[in-house]
Amino acid sequence: MDDALAARDEDALIVVDVQNDFVRGGALAVPDGEAILPLVNRLIGAFAQVVVTQDWHPPGHASFASSHPGAKPFDMIAAPYGSQVLWPDHCVQGAPGAALVAGLAVDSAFLVLRKGIHAAVDSYSAFLEADRKTTTGLGALLSARGVDRVFVCGLATDFCVAFTALDARIAGFETFVVEDACRAIDANGSLAAARTRMDATGVRRIASAALLP
């Protein structure tokens, strides 16, 4: 069992992409993704500072396979900013699939942060887009609010959760991924790769029992 980590005022919870397209029936459904909802809601209740993110792409986004003639979902392409996995169309701005899952306890969140809004650049991370230059401003915002530890949960472990956690760590926050409050896509070894990177970067992987009574 992990040491108890009872949430303090200087802790922020980032709830990543708990959206219709990432759960059962969605365009990019994460296996068992809907199962995390009760636990995520309990975590939200334990934190004074909560940020919820939404993947929020314009139609024709560069990460969509449909934007690249001849490409299929899960192909890789070389984008100007590096390699990019191509996805089914998902989380299109304003579409039902982009909405937060019904029942997600968002009311206490101080911020709903939308990311991936630039047509030519993807953004798994809630901090820095895939060009590694364009910031969402989240790091500065959390710092200005006195946050020093960041806890991350949501979907998907191996993409938006991991990239968000890695960037939180790089931004200087002590960073934890609450693994049982996440689910993974796990395409082509992506979950093992994400865990290896998180471990190497000093992101701590914990269970919710360390936080919740």
DSSP 102-162: TT--GGG-SEEEEE--STT----SSSB-TTSS-B-SHHHHHHHTT--EEEEEEE-IIIIIH
Tokens of 193: 């790769």
Nearest by Cα to 19 from 9, 29, 8: 29
- Pick the piece of the chain touching ligand VGL (CB under 6 A) from 105-113, 129-137, 154-162, 195-203: 154-162
Site string for ligand VGL, 65-94 (x = CB under 6 A): ----------------------x-------
The answer to whether 141 touches 117, Cβ cutoff 8 Å, is no
Contact between 159 and ligand VGL (CB under 6 A)? yes
Site string for ligand VGL, 36-55 (x = CB under 6 A): -------------------x
Q: Which of 11, 14, 15, 17 binds ligand VGL (CB under 6 A)?
A: 17
Chain residues in the site for ligand VGL (CB under 6 A): 17, 22, 55, 87, 124, 155-156, 159-160
